[in-house]
Structures are given as structure tokens and as C-alpha cells.
Structure 1
Amino acid sequence: MTHQATATALYLGVDAGNSKTAALVSTASGEVVGAGRSGCGDIYGAPTPEAAVDAVMSAVGTALGRAGADPSALAGAAFRLAGVDWPEDAAYWDDALARRQPSLVRRTILNDGYAAIRCGEPSGIGVAIAAGTAAAIAARGPSGELWDMGWWGQHAMGAIGLANDALKAVFLAELDLAPPTALTQALLTHYSRSTAEELNHWLTAREGGAGPRDRTSCARVVTAVAKDGDPVATDIVRAQGQHLATYAGVAARRTGLATAGAPVSVVLSGSVLMAEGSPVAAALLEELPAHLPHAQPHRGALPPVAGALLDALGENGITVTDGVTARVAGSMPAKDFLAT
């Protein structure tokens, strides 16, 4: 996807996480004319905060290059970044962007959780529940109030939570401190290990052991075992749905959505919730009415980076209509652009 330079105003959306950073550039009509991706853009997760800035700038530079444009062509930008959890995090990014892209003055910087809202709710008003490697929950209220979970989340959710709870169940069962579970054989098979002791050793070894992504790779195994009816795995999945619903209720209350007396859009996204037949999504939807009675849940139709782009358009005077959203969807890069 490479386009010739143009005098038409352009807009930039960036979604930065631990597994990847993605950037899209579009025209005011929503046609995506440039895309770029790079590595970890989370200032908490990258080797150094400046390395996260480098990753974001690399993705932005690639997207602009493929659009045949430079930063001065941008009429607005929305940076939705994992690790923007406290005011000083936003201030760090504001200073970094001012240094690295001084012409980019029309920009907003928010936690990556907000990127998913417009993926299913064009107005940008509602709650987003994203569960991928980890979980991000954010809400924008009818008067513009903002709240995101950040470091308020006191439960491991997403693939991290599924993996941690499943491995704990397996190891406790090995010690006769918890019920036997089909998770034991399923995880041993997944990790190509013979015994629970061998698996525990590999996951915790000081040298030559597993990496963080190895640990979370079993999330789909956990949900498959739950779908097969294992009681322990089923309880793990149900707890995940309950946690996600609980924090979504907090987000709605903190932003005035819960008391508005109107239906509340709740947008689901992330690999754990978007997987076909996801039992975590089912558990979440079952629990959600207890925390947000007027919830209208639906799965996001676009990836979060597209939501960030729609934020950039919406925040800079472009009405995000169904037509604009359709043009973004129809001009997205190939699926492997977002593969992890």
C-alpha cells in the first residue's frame, strides 16, 4: 500500500501494545492510504521508555511513507497507547511527540483501551472491553468523561489470567491440594512435557526456561478444555467473564453511562473474546446485566488501530458515519498486517 503525496489533509491513528504497534493514515473520507507496524510501544513493557517511542515513531514513519506524506500533512492524530495509565505517562508521551514530531500539534494521547470503542460504536460513547494477551477496559461518557482500568485492575485477565489460573490449578492438583483436572494432560501435551514437575521446572527455570509468551500460549487450550466440560477449566473461564463484567460496570459508573437511563454500547474485542465460540465471551455476556443493566453488547467489527483512526477523525471535526467506517474497513491492509 503506497500512495503518492497529496495536499489533502490526512489523519493518523496509532494503537500500541506489547505484542505490536500499528499505525494507519487516512483521508478525511476514511480511505486508508498508509499503514505501518513495529514492536512493543508500551513504556512499561519495552526495554526502555525511549524504545517504546522508537517503536511508535517507526510505525508512524512507515505509515506516512506509504501514504507519500510527511507529518505536516496530518490534520489530527489519535495515539492509543498501552501504558498510558497515569498523568505522568501521558506527559511523557506528549513531550516525546513534541520532540520527535513537532509539527504534529493536533493530537490526543490516551490508553489503548479507548481504541476499541469506535470499533463498534461510531459515536465513541460507550464501554470497550478488550481481552487479548491482557485486558483493557475503558469508557467514554455522554459528557466526555473518561475512565480506564489501567492499574486499577486487581485480577489477571485475558490470556495471562487464563494461563496463570490454569497452571495454578494443574500444580495444586499435582500436590493434592486441588481437584484433578483435564487441564493437566491438555497442558502437558500443549507444552510437550511429560510431567507436571517437568512443566513447572521449564516455566520457572533460571536458565533455558520458557519465555513470557510461552506461558500465555496455552490460553486457547484452557478455553477448549472448558468447552469440553471440565469443571476446573469451566470455573476459570466463568471467573474471567465475571471479572471483565465487574470492571465494565465500574467504567460505566465512573463515566455517567450507568445513570444516563439509556442503552449503553459495550464493545468486545481482543483475541480471547473474538475467538469463535469463545466461552469467556459467553461468561461475560451472562454476567454483564448484573453490573450494567442497560448494556447493549456487540463485538467490534474493526481492529483497535482502526478505532484509533476513527478517533482521530471524530476528534477533528469529521462525523464518523457508517460510510466513513465502511471506507476504513474496506481499505484496511491485508489481515497478516495485524497478525501476532
Structure 2
Amino acid sequence: MAYYVGIDAGGSKTHALVTDEHGHVLGKGQSGNGNHQIDAAEAARHLTEAAAEALQQAGIHHADVAHAYFGLAGADRETDFRILRPIVSAIGFPRFSIACDTIIGLRAGTDRSYGISVICGTGTNCAGRNKKGEQLQVGGFTYMYGDFGGGGALNEEVFRSVIRAWDGREQPTLLTGLLLARLGYTSVEDMFNDYLDHNKRVPVDVTKLLFTAAAEGDAMAIEILNRQGVELGKSAAAAAKRLGMGEDTFDVVLTGSLVTRGDTGGWIRGPLERIVHEVAPHARIVTLTVDPVFGAIWAAMEEYGLTISTDVYERMRALGTFDDIQIQE
């Protein structure tokens, strides 16, 4: 019997699964922050804890694992991998791979071993993998390094749009009333002065107001969300071009709360899809519906040389979310 380990680690959580080659989940583990860019020592401890818990539930040891695949937030550049390789090696798996969490998000959203993943949650990121196995990341390094948006930036777009409408630089917007109600002010002037005088930061959840206003036809909110779609589309199109995928049939997997739950009107997805299809007309835009850690398991199987069957995909997708997973006896 061959066993596989998949690990998905981000800034707030680490998830680990152990399965056999048939996709039966034998053990799962979880812990806290697994992003070394936040705290390398803490990330190492949490990765070790999650893996150990999953192995213990499965009743196996590190040496029994055919392959372990780590999808790690912050695994962006060679500088990161020089830190991560010793951390992961110390956990004790004889064979393992490390990739950015965008790659396992991609793998979880498609039956193919290649494609493009676009993340739009608190931040944004994009990564692709072609048929040759070549991988590329486009973005993921904040506004200064070329990115736009994500919940941690669109909240400020809401705030500044309300300010600009108030002082006459932009048209009136429904965002004004929504923002004042959310932050507890009776006027934009009071909000403006209080934030300026006390150096306040705009809460991340203010981004949700864009979807509320867009659903009511607000031009400003729609413009901001459309721009987010354009920027994500440019990232995906750049990945497709640089990886030589223009004529291929593949999936562009959308992950992150803004595109999987918030974008009910297609304000982001529409422009994204249009730009991608200009470069890769056979690409299919899909929304991630399972936990990314499933992608880590499937990538582990493929790294070991296993061809994943339809039964494995169907069995694991039927499990639901990580929290829903019941361990097989």
C-alpha cells in the first residue's frame, strides 16, 4: 500500500492529509501559521505538528510515505526555498516537493496536471504550470511590485472613492452611505478628519461593500471590481504567454473569497475571462470548489508517478471541506 501526504499552509492555518492511492483519507492534522515569511520558527513548528497529527491518525510513520507535497504560502522565490528546504527536510519525509500554495490551488481545481491559478482573497497572486511541468508565478508581491487589489487593498479603494466623491473629484456613489454606516460616522467630513487625525486604517471587510453597491448598479463600485478583473486577467494572460500555453486547452482556476463567493454578478470574472481568451481562446475559467489541500495530495501522487483515476477525484471531491472530512476506519 502506498501512502501520500498533502499539506496546505498559509498565514493563519496549516492543513495536512494522509491518503492511500485510492483517495481514502486515513488521517488529517491541522495547526496554525505555516508561512515562514511571517515567522519561520513558528511555521516550522506548525508544519511539523500538522504532519505528525495526520500520520498518527493514519497509524503510519514518515518512512511509509511514498511522497509528501507541501503547498506553502510564501514559497515564492529561491530565497524562500533556501529557507524552506531545511525546514521541510527536518520533518522527516524521505521524498517531498515544495511549491507555492497557488500551485496546489490550481491542482485542486482541475483534473489536469497543468493550467493557471488566480488567487484573489486578502491579496492577489497568479501561477501557472504547462504540459512540460514548467512553473511560473506572476505577481503576489504587493502593489509596489506590480499587483493591484485583493481585499487588503480594495478596502482602501472604497475609502478613497468616497473621499473623492465627497470633495468633487468623482461622481456620487452608493459606497458613501454604506461606508459611513459600516464605520459609524454621520458625515464624510467627520470620517475624513478622524482617520487623518488618528492615522486609522480601513478594515479589510470594507471590501464587501463593493459587491453590495455593484449589485445596486453603482458605477464606481462596478468600475473598481472591473479593474480587479482586468488586472487578474492580465496576470493570467501573461502566465499563459510566457509558458507557451496560448493554443492549449486548460483550466484557469479562480481561488480566494472575492472570486469564489463575492463576485456574484461577474464584475471581476467577466473582464478576466475576456482578457484570458484574447491570449488563450481554449482556456476554461472555473471556480475552486474543494480545499486546496486536495491539490497537494493529487500533486504528491503524480510526483510519485501515479495516474489519478476518475474514481479518486470523485471520491475526494465528495468529502466536502477539510473540516467535513471523516477519517476512514
Could you tell me how far 1:177 is from its partner in structure 2? 2.9
Among residues 170, 173, 198, which one is paired with 1:178 in the alignment?
A: 170
Name 1:92's counterpart in structure 2.
83
User: Deviations for 1:290-337, whole angstroms, at most 9, x for unmatched residues?
Assistant: 343332222223221111111111111221222111122234556578
Q: Secondary structure at the match of 1:184?
A: helix
Percent identity reads 28
Q: Take 1:86 and 1:78, find their aligned partners in 2: how far apart are those partners?
A: 17
Q: Take 1:201 and 1:26, find their aligned partners in 2: how far apart are those partners?
A: 56
Among residues 231, 242, 245, which one is paired with 2:233 in the alignment?
A: 245
With normalisation by structure 2, the TM-score equals 0.88
Q: Take 1:196 and 1:54, find their aligned partners in 2: how far apart are those partners?
A: 46
Give the alignment of 1:109-148 within 5 angstroms: 109-148=98-137
Unaligned runs of 5+ residues in structure 2 are none
Do 1:11 and 1:28's aligned partners in 2 also have CA atoms closer than 8 Å?
yes
Could you tell me how far 1:252 is from its partner in structure 2? 0.9
Select between 293-302 and 274-283 the one with higher mean Cα deviation. 274-283
Relative distance call for 1:296 and 1:199 in structure 2 (3 A) is same
User: Deviations for 1:46-89, whole angstroms, at most 9, x for unmatched residues?
Assistant: 2x221222222232223223323332222111111111111021
Q: Take 2:70 and 2:193, find their aligned partners in 1: how far apart are those partners?
A: 40
Could you tell me how far 1:286 is from its partner in structure 2? 3.5
C-alpha RMSD of matched pairs (Å): 2.5
Give the alignment of 1:24-39 within 5 angstroms: 24-39=17-32
Do 1:32 and 1:332's aligned partners in 2 also have CA atoms closer than 8 Å?
no
Name 1:292's counterpart in structure 2.
280
Q: Take 1:183 and 1:256, find their aligned partners in 2: how far apart are those partners?
A: 41
Unaligned runs of 5+ residues in structure 1 are 1-7
Relative distance call for 1:249 and 1:287 in structure 2 (3 A) is closer
Q: Take 1:172 and 1:269, find their aligned partners in 2: how far apart are those partners?
A: 31
Do 1:35 and 1:63's aligned partners in 2 also have CA atoms closer than 8 Å?
yes
Among residues 3, 6, 16, which one is paired with 2:9 in the alignment?
A: 16
Name 2:182's counterpart in structure 1.
190
Relative distance call for 1:9 and 1:156 in structure 2 (3 A) is same
Among residues 49, 63, 68, which one is paired with 1:72 in the alignment?
A: 63
Name 1:4's counterpart in structure 2.
none
Q: Secondary structure at the match of 2:118?
A: strand
Among residues 250, 254, 264, which one is paired with 1:268 in the alignment?
A: 254
Q: Secondary structure at the match of 2:8?
A: strand
Q: Does 1:225 align with 2:216?
A: no
Letter in 2 for 1:160: G
Do 1:126 and 1:141's aligned partners in 2 also have CA atoms closer than 8 Å?
yes
Give the alignment of 1:201-216 within 5 angstroms: 215-216=203-204
Q: Take 2:33 and 2:42, find their aligned partners in 1: how far apart are those partners?
A: 8
Q: Take 1:171 and 1:57, find their aligned partners in 2: how far apart are those partners?
A: 47
Relative distance call for 1:204 and 1:334 in structure 2 (3 A) is farther
Number of equivalent positions: 320
Name 2:294's counterpart in structure 1.
306
Could you tell me how far 1:197 is from its partner in structure 2? 5.2
Q: Take 2:198 and 2:17, find their aligned partners in 1: how far apart are those partners?
A: 40
Could you tell me how far 1:201 is from its partner in structure 2? 6.7
Q: Take 2:50 and 2:161, find their aligned partners in 1: how far apart are those partners?
A: 40
Letter in 2 for 1:121: T
Relative distance call for 1:205 and 1:275 in structure 2 (3 A) is farther
Q: Take 1:59 and 1:201, find their aligned partners in 2: how far apart are those partners?
A: 46
Q: Does 1:256 align with 2:244?
A: yes
Name 1:5's counterpart in structure 2.
none
Q: Take 2:93 and 2:193, find their aligned partners in 1: how far apart are those partners?
A: 49
Q: Secondary structure at the match of 1:311?
A: helix
Do 2:112 and 2:250's aligned partners in 1 also have CA atoms closer than 8 Å?
no
Letter in 1 for 2:93: L
